[in-house]
Chains A and B, each alone.
Chain A
Amino acid sequence: MSMLEYRSSAWARGGLLAMRNVPDVALGDRVVVRDHLGRQRSGQVIRSSEELVLIQVFEGTDNIDLERTWVRFLDQPFELALAPEMLGRVFNGVGQSRDGRPPIISRLSRNVNGAALNPAARAYPREFIQTGISTIDGMNTLVRGQKLPVFSGSGLPHNRLAAQIVRQAKLLFHGEGKADSQESFALVFAAMGVSHSDARFFEESFKESGVLGQVVTFINLADDPPIERLILPRVALTCAEYLAFDLDMHVLVVMTDMTYYAEALREIATGKGDVPARKGFPGYLYSDLAEIYERAGRIRGKAGSITMIPVVSMPSDDITHPVPDLTGYITEGQIVLSRELAAANIQPPVAVLPSLSRLMKDGIGEGMTREDHARVASQLFASYAKAQEVRSLAAIIGAEELSEEDNRYLQFADAFEQRFVSQGEHEDRSIFHTLDLAWEVLSLLPKEALTRLSEKDIEARYRSPDSE
């Protein structure tokens, strides 16, 4: 097919443009839409038949008319040019330069949709990443190649938490391990629908930690066209895959905010007339999110890795809202932030009970963190869960009525939150420090209550509190 321009628009609405009588167009092909002012927008074919070709226009359909809009079909899929010079650069959602510098020119370009990784090619992630944050390292450990989202709510400090992880994340090596400096790190930052001030916050925090030259930013701000958010994470992950699996880098991908991404998807789906499943989101939201999240991981025989930290805001703090819910079904755990803890000025306000890291079990223990790690984490979960019950009991019958043991649970819960959960934004705790803190607070409970710990653990590490 030649690169003809067509002016046969049938209808336009909600980011969608339909064209009549354009023969022979392949699904997924990229198009350039030129409006009556001569401004160019990029788009992609999402349905193709002989009568009608449907295009999603990433810059939206605002200000488009049917009579004077020209569409050029590029006869190629949506690809991103890839080169090492992308490090340190800022792009928009479709991969165009946003920092005033020239576009990336390269012979290598890849389809932004990627192709599914053969499960037989994956290497199971097991390498502990120390974030220096006790609630994560101690109880919800992150490993290289994991996808671990942060579930948050409006006004909660998810950005600060993400920035702290970026600043502090490092690998621990024990003795004979290869030297840390041999490995190269990169950060891919994918921002969808974020405010100007949040974008600035991230930029400054990258600058401050001296990683700016290692960051590739793809940004779509709150006042940018929402449809572009549909392609942005795909573009960003195509770049991340290149850095990780072509250039052997360890790539951390921070994506914020996936809820805005999903809302853009809902907008297009509604425009297409797709049958909604829950809250107006289309039934394929799960598969669509999975196409994004599953791009994290490790590949056997390759040095690099993609570790993913998506930020998902929970509308009305509702964890059962389709976006956090489906995310939780795909990712390998979640870090949940709590409004109550934030209100009590516990920072970072990580609610440990609903949080989870599924890959923790293979990344901790002897030789990786510390031998007692798994049992200590399990005991903290169990004891804190019990303490929460005691708290609600105390709220009903009053603390005076509680048994002595129950009172110790209350003390434990307070100490756990004040000393273990709460930490400074620039406080980088080693995993050993974290585990010692855990023992400190667990020692507020009677030995007999610590049934998840072994007798040996207790003998070695239980410290009778002064109060006894």
Chain B
Amino acid sequence: MSSEGTILDIQGPIVIARLPNARIGEQVKLGSQGLMGEVIAREDDRAIIQVYEITEGLRPGAPASAVGSQLSVELGPGLLGGIFDGLQRPLKTLLEQTGERIERGLMVPAIDRNKRWPFVPGKDLKIGAKVSGSTILGSVLENDSITHRILMPPDVTGELDDLVPAGDYTVDDVIGRVRDTQGNIHKLHLSSRWPVRIPRPFSKRDHALQPLITGQRIMDTFFPLLKGGKGAIPGPFGAGKTVLQQQIARWSDAQIVIYVGCGERGNELTEVLDTFPQLSDPRTGRPLMERTMLVANTSNMPVVAREVSVYVGMTIAEYFRDQGFDVVVVADSTSRWAEALREVSGRLGQMPVEEGYPAYLGSTLSAFYERAGRVETLNGNHGSVTLIGAVSPPGGDFSEPVTSHTKDIIQTFWALSKDLADARHYPAVDWLESFSLFVDVAAKWWHENINEDWMRLRNIALRLLSESEELARIVNLVGVEALSGQQRWTLETSKLIREGLLQQSALEPNDSFCSPRKQFLLLKLMIEIHTRGAEMLKVGMPVQELLRQPLLAKARRWKISYSSEEIEGLEQEGKAIEPIFDALRAEYASPLAKGESAARTGAGPT
């Protein structure tokens, strides 16, 4: 059903049209160019429409027509490796068809209509079989990394009337038919559509069990996020949000990555498009682009499409989740999306609550983050969507509305600090401000797969870091001479942990990705150095001597000296720690002077 009307008022991205019968959420075409928009409110016979495109050139009196459907995305093979705008228009196709600047009023389908995909029907599916939402009808080898499962639309149940044999089909070809309980026939295709603002259904929520391994030490070792979890990266400009999200997109052990560039720089998306095809997944060896999809609404693109872009990304993520994949969505930046909400609400004259944001900011954010999660899908598989949002607080002030609402919603908070970024301590994740609610769950994985000592050592490291914070305060008041030898040693080893473990350069090939084994080994060796050094102080070695040990400078470089594949070299270095300290001990603590036993009882971290 569609209704026709005329435009009455144009003000920036908001248009008012006389459009009786239009429903809220319904899509609308405006003017001779057919600019697309969406009804966000109704008053009398008028519809208030937010327009996804620049409204320049529209005039009162021009036609408006409601098209009957809500904004939806096309889901099927052919999305991976691509870049789409906030309305899921394929940007590479647009580039070929209309040139380097994005024209208005273009509707180009997301998926190539002519490309044929090798479809293999499900082995156990017989004609007459009962099929329902998300039943797997078959599969398509989308690329060498991903076998795309073709699903029943989530909202159809019935009997399979017909299914094509294995062969090559386009997304428009009918691959089968389903007769529902009312006797209606539904045609099946390799692709289907789903409205972006409605979460795709699943059968139930599941516990998240596994950490998402990102290869970033400060994340995996200190503030883990689970597959299916919700995380946020707040930070002032230039603190490293985008780099961290790109690192997650590169190195995390997700099967599918959806990168949503929401109101950020065009060059950052270009960079992903340029570099990802050359990088390979450290686990599968396949080009990263095969598992990656980009949604791009850059900061100079229309603001309403920005608001939509995060939903487009999320809906596509849910679709892959329903196929049984672990999907990661990175959204850079959720603040720009919230600002788009603010802009529209402001133009509607809605009452602002804080800093111009509407009262529904918090509920909109949490409803969106709720779409993340690990679920049992309608077809009985398990899949997950992990959501990681960057937050860009004005002035770097974390008490502003978007950051504070987000903080209440998420489970892992990686707070970036301007001071750390200014000192080029990257990733500039502040270890005192950040938190993860899932260390216990992650610990299970680490203990089973890497080492049982993970939790204990991680906690020691965190304690050293926070102790040293206290000590640094004292030093800043009265100087380092006021500290005891043990305290100076704590200061030194926490510096070692900061530089040798927490700092991780995204640009150094050996350091950009750090395997869990390497992470654990570095952690273990640093705590070992700390412990052994503390013992030496107990047996009388002057702290100045200890600080002069060349081992310390060497240990700072271990992360760079050995890649994740060169773990053995690192293990060798680790084996050398003991003899070094044994030799020192022999020097300082002759059994006559101090006594072996006294030193032994003093073992253990301070």
Contacts and interface: CB of A to CB of B under 8 A. Distances in A.
Interface of A: 23-28, 46-50, 77, 111, 113-125, 145, 274-278, 282-284, 286-287, 290-291, 294-295, 297, 299-300, 320-322, 325-326, 328-330, 332-334, 353-354, 356, 358-359, 361, 374, 378, 381-382, 385-386, 392-393, 396-397, 401-403, 448, 451, 454-455
A396 B476 contact: yes
Contacts of A374: 507
B395 A28 contact: no
Interface in B113-155: none
A320 B553 contact: no
Contacts of A123: 270
B205 interface: no
Contacts of B589: none
A283 B339 contact: yes
A368 to B, nearest CB: 14
B277 to A, nearest CB: 13
Contacts of A392: 476
Contacts of B9: 47-50
Interface in B40-89: 54-61, 83
Contacts of B352: 275
Given A124-B274, A275-B356, A294-B299, 5 more contacts: A27-B58, A49-B9, A116-B101, A124-B271, A287-B300
Given A28-B56, A382-B424, A23 B499 contact: no
A120 B93 CA distance: 9
B23 interface: no
Nearest to B89: A118
A286 B556 contact: no
B424 A381 contact: yes
Given A299-B100, A328-B237, A451-B557, A286 B422 contact: no
A24 B299 contact: no
A149 B102 CA distance: 26
Contact of A120 (B60, B273, B397): B273
A283 B350 CA distance: 14
A18 to B, nearest CB: 13
A120 B89 CA distance: 12
Contacts of A124: 267, 270-271, 274
B95 A118 contact: yes
B301 interface: yes
Contact of B299 (A118, A330, A401): A330
Given A320-B394, A334-B238, A118 B100 contact: yes
Interface of B: 8-12, 16, 54-61, 83, 91-92, 94-95, 99-103, 236-238, 261, 263, 265-267, 269-271, 273-274, 296, 298-301, 303, 336, 339, 342-343, 346, 352, 355-356, 392, 394-397, 422-425, 475-481, 499, 507, 550, 552-553, 556-557, 560
A118 B101 contact: yes
B100 A283 contact: no
A326 B264 CA distance: 11
Contact of A49 (B10, B422, B423): B10
A262 to B, nearest CB: 14
A49 B7 CA distance: 8
A54 to B, nearest CB: 8
B91 A451 contact: no
Contacts of A276: 356
B53 to A, nearest CB: 10
A240 to B, nearest CB: 15
Contacts of A122: 266-267, 269-270
A283 B346 contact: yes
Which 5 residue pairs across A and B have the least CB separation, nearest first?
A: A320-B395, A290-B299, A49-B9, A121-B100, A28-B56
A120 B81 CA distance: 12
A115 B101 contact: yes
Contacts of B422: 353-354, 385
A293 to B, nearest CB: 8
Contacts of A27: 10-11, 55-59
Contacts of A334: 238
B395 A284 contact: no
Contacts of A297: 266-267
Contacts of B57: 26-28, 77
Q: Which one of B57, B58, B481 has the greatest number of beta carbons of chain A within 10 Å?
A: B57
B187 to A, nearest CB: 33
Q: Which one of B61, B237, B499 has the greatest number of beta carbons of chain A within 10 Å?
A: B237
Contacts of B481: 401
Given A124-B267, A274-B346, A299-B100, A49 B424 contact: no
A50 B60 CA distance: 6
Q: Which one of B102, B266, B395 has the greatest number of beta carbons of chain A within 10 Å?
A: B266
Contact of B479 (A25, A47, A119, A401): A401
Given A23-B61, A385-B424, A392-B476, A294 B394 contact: no
A287 B237 contact: no
Nearest to A380: B424
A50 B481 CA distance: 78
B356 A358 contact: no
A454 B559 CA distance: 12
Contacts of B59: 24-27, 48
Given A294-B265, A325-B394, A24 B61 contact: yes
A120 B92 contact: yes
12 contacts: A26-B58, A27-B58, A117-B100, A119-B266, A124-B274, A283-B343, A290-B263, A325-B394, A329-B392, A381-B424, A382-B424, A396-B476
Contacts of B274: 124
Contacts of B556: 451
Given A77-B57, A374-B507, A120 B91 contact: yes
Given A119-B91, A320-B397, A294 B10 contact: no
Contacts of B267: 122, 124-125, 145, 297, 332, 359
Given A27-B10, A50-B60, A119 B296 contact: yes
A25 B303 contact: no
Nearest to A26: B59
A48 B394 CA distance: 32
A353 B423 contact: yes
B424 A48 contact: no
Contacts of A329: 237, 392
Nearest to A111: B56
A451 B298 CA distance: 38
A99 to B, nearest CB: 30
A286 B10 contact: no
Nearest to B340: A287
B12 to A, nearest CB: 8
B522 to A, nearest CB: 15
A137 to B, nearest CB: 17
A274 B392 CA distance: 22
A47 B300 CA distance: 20
Nearest to A245: B100
A277 B95 contact: no
B600 to A, nearest CB: 31
A382 B476 contact: no
B95 A120 contact: yes
A325 B395 contact: yes
Nearest to A294: B300
B178 to A, nearest CB: 37
